[in-house]
A and B are shown apart, each in its own frame.
Chain A
């Protein structure tokens, strides 16, 4: 018997990781960090392939994976502490927004920003500087962070906030985990009296219709998002807008506990789904059904928070529906004067048969100081497409050029295929960010497949 261990076989702790789109896998040693000391130890003992923190793996591309590296799982750092007087929560970086909501909604507090899934960690929300349906009013998650604790590339523990360390703070917000490992954050909460949203719904005829309604009416709503039928050439859709409902409306309707919050997973997608389940026929049927199920117009409907914000969380592992070749999400932001790119992008993708089930249109408000923070004022469109579609690459490259030409950019938490040149040109403050990142991580300990691919 040989006593030499094979360098080829999978070693204990090694795992093959992908993003939510299940494309371009790579293998890393996944290590659980239970304390700040664990994080420091991982950083100072890092090998040549570096260190990266990974949350729940909901970024679509390669942001939360790093081939050959040590990938830190901070789910054991799970503190949740509510400060009622300050209206803030102090939460471990590995805690999911799902856990935060389950803990805080019954006490009458809501997170300042939630993306379309609750299954993201606080650390991930800061790294990607996530946005939600209230961006036009409230900005990103990062802008509501009062302070955060990180371990930088030297292994030093630092507390960052917007006032005393604005440079380090905003380099980390939207910095894709490349400035340090966030271990804890304190962020603002929204006081609520019920766990329901009062929702106004309108079925929209075409893109002009929905964009006009959003331009003229979004300011009256805290939350606003439009779903667009990617199959129908008109770009018809469903616009849903709303705000937190007052408890009086629920109690008058007979509700026992206006702050109840216990969303369930109703189904789990099976692990093996063949390629081809998502095809033009099923996409056509899905889009038609999604359009038809919405009321033509209804005001003041009470929806649970989970139903309004996170409809997809009902089906666990729904990303498997795209089969083994996986999928990607193309999300861009462009200024108001380039609103025509929304229709142009949908037409270009229809042209190669890349039909999307989840096509989401939103308005963005003001940008924050983060050099790599994605949102900028104007429109943002997000489109899911199967990665196996023939001719998809050139179509997306042409769209990149149009987005860039309009002064827009792509969202790093979704990207899995843009070129390094597109990255540098569309984020003109990249060099400034890199200088600040180098100061926080002089030896380049933090890296990811995304960082290597885009030369960040």
Chain B
């Protein structure tokens, strides 16, 4: 149960090796935390994420098998996590960036990105929402992206999956409004992670720890949507209003 000061006891991470998610767990108030379920594909990275949390003194870290693209197993993943005790915060943190050129050459590769980032999120998101409703409380944190705010030539496959995910999360948040269960949408810009290693950094680039702090503050204040960093909200508002003939020519 979340307490009066916003300290959680149970956390579920979908995409358990996500650096942003792990940084977020580490940034949460830890005094009451007693169970953290890291759901992800079995991998050294998932084991390392669990070890990182345990080393940092986080209690009750568990791992669970979860593959975003295998939706037939999603119900079991969610039930196992919630049957083990109330979950106060769910971090939906999985996603793949893919390679735009490869996706254009091989549509199957594009479908894979779409399946993980969008289809997988819809499947697990609805199941999580239903369990949050059954327990009567809890917040689903959805890691969206500014890439979904406006599709760019250079990564529109990824961007379109995040646009779909973001629209889904907005609607889900509205459906849950007033029920005690909530959705927090987080739209990071360029974050230094293994996903972006080797890419040129954009302006307002930040670290996973910065995103984590923004998420924790937003959770405490009960926000519905946050950008990371915050000023990106205004950058994106400007970019969204740029006419397409001009937008095409921007070096983005």
- A residues bordering B, Cβ < 8 Å? 6-10, 14, 16, 21, 23-28, 49, 61-62, 66-69, 326, 328, 387, 392-394, 397, 416-417, 419-420, 449, 452-453
Contact A27 B137 (CB under 8 A): yes
Contact pick for B31, options A23, A25, A67, A393, CB 8 Å: A393
Task: State A365–B1 Cα separation when bound (angstroms).
Answer: 34
Nearest residue, chain A, Cβ from B137 = A26
Contact A417 B4 (CB under 8 A): yes
With contacts A453-B1, A453-B32 known, what are 9 further pairs, Cβ within 8 A? A9-B179, A16-B179, A24-B2, A26-B136, A26-B137, A49-B134, A49-B136, A67-B1, A393-B7
Contact pick for A328, options B1, B4, B32, B137, CB 8 Å: B4
Contact B135 A7 (CB under 8 A): no
| Most chain B beta carbons < 10 A, residue from A7, A69, A326, A416 | A7
Contact A397 B31 (CB under 8 A): yes
Task: State A106–B179 Cα separation when bound (angstroms).
Answer: 44
Contact pick for B180, options A49, A67, A328, A416, CB 8 Å: A67
Contact A27 B130 (CB under 8 A): no
Contact A326 B180 (CB under 8 A): no
Contact residues on B (Cβ < 8 Å of other chain), bracket: 20 to 34
Contact B86 A67 (CB under 8 A): yes
Classify the secondary structure of A's interface with B: loop
Given contacts A28-B136, A397-B31, contact A10 B3 (CB under 8 A): no
Contact A24 B4 (CB under 8 A): yes
What chain B residues lie within 8 Å of A16 (beta carbons)?
178-180
Contact B31 A24 (CB under 8 A): no
Classify the secondary structure of B's interface with A: loop
Contact A9 B137 (CB under 8 A): no
| Most chain B beta carbons < 10 A, residue from A26, A61, A62, A328 | A26
Within 8 A of A (CB), among B1-25: 1-5, 7, 9
Contact B178 A10 (CB under 8 A): yes
Nearest residue, chain B, Cβ from A324 = B222
Contact B4 A387 (CB under 8 A): yes
Is B51 in the interface zone, CB < 8 Å from A? no
Contact A6 B175 (CB under 8 A): yes
Is B133 in the interface zone, CB < 8 Å from A? yes
Q: Closest Cβ of chain A: how far from B30's Cβ, in Å?
A: 10
Is B29 in the interface zone, CB < 8 Å from A? yes
Task: State A27–B131 Cα separation when bound (angstroms).
Answer: 12
Is B176 in the interface zone, CB < 8 Å from A? yes
Within 8 A of A (CB), among B163-199: 172, 175-176, 178-181
Contact B135 A61 (CB under 8 A): no
For the complex of A and B, 10 pairs with smallest distance between CB atoms? A67-B136, A416-B4, A27-B180, A23-B4, A453-B1, A27-B136, A26-B137, A68-B136, A26-B136, A417-B3
Task: State A326–B5 Cα separation when bound (angstroms).
Answer: 10
Q: Closest Cβ of chain B: how far from A256's Cβ, in Å?
A: 47
Contact A8 B179 (CB under 8 A): yes
What chain A residues lie within 8 Å of B226 (beta carbons)?
none
Contact B1 A21 (CB under 8 A): no
Task: State A49–B3 Cα separation when bound (angstroms).
Answer: 19
Contact A453 B130 (CB under 8 A): no
Contact pick for B179, options A10, A61, A69, A449, CB 8 Å: A10
Nearest residue, chain B, Cβ from A65 = B136
Q: Closest Cβ of chain A: how far from B168's Cβ, in Å?
A: 13
Task: State A62–B4 Cα separation when bound (angstroms).
Answer: 9
What chain B residues lie within 8 Å of A27 (beta carbons)?
133, 136-137, 179-181
Task: State A199–B4 Cα separation when bound (angstroms).
Answer: 37
Is B92 in the interface zone, CB < 8 Å from A? no
Task: State A344–B180 Cα separation when bound (angstroms).
Answer: 37
Q: Closest Cβ of chain A: how far from B181's Cβ, in Å?
A: 8
Is B129 in the interface zone, CB < 8 Å from A? yes
Q: Closest Cβ of chain A: how far from B104's Cβ, in Å?
A: 37
Task: State A392–B6 Cα separation when bound (angstroms).
Answer: 11
Given contacts A24-B1, A27-B180, contact A419 B136 (CB under 8 A): no
Task: State A12–B5 Cα separation when bound (angstroms).
Answer: 30
Task: State A366–B150 Cα separation when bound (angstroms).
Answer: 69
Contact B4 A26 (CB under 8 A): no
Contact A26 B180 (CB under 8 A): yes
Task: State A394–B7 Cα separation when bound (angstroms).
Answer: 11
What chain B residues lie within 8 Å of A10 (beta carbons)?
178-179
What chain B residues lie within 8 Å of A61 (beta carbons)?
4
Task: State A263–B9 Cα separation when bound (angstroms).
Answer: 43
What chain B residues lie within 8 Å of A24 (beta carbons)?
1-4, 137
Contact B133 A7 (CB under 8 A): yes
Within 8 A of A (CB), among B48-63: none
Nearest residue, chain A, Cβ from B29 = A393
What chain A residues lie within 8 Å of B133 (beta carbons)?
7-8, 27
| Most chain B beta carbons < 10 A, residue from A21, A49, A417 | A417
Task: State A14–B135 Cα separation when bound (angstroms).
Answer: 12
What chain A residues lie within 8 Å of B136 (beta carbons)?
26-28, 49, 66-69
Nearest residue, chain A, Cβ from B85 = A452
Task: State A35–B217 Cα separation when bound (angstroms).
Answer: 46
Contact A8 B175 (CB under 8 A): yes
Task: State A62–B5 Cα separation when bound (angstroms).
Answer: 12
Task: State A394–B30 Cα separation when bound (angstroms).
Answer: 11
Nearest residue, chain B, Cβ from A416 = B4
Nearest residue, chain B, Cβ from A23 = B4
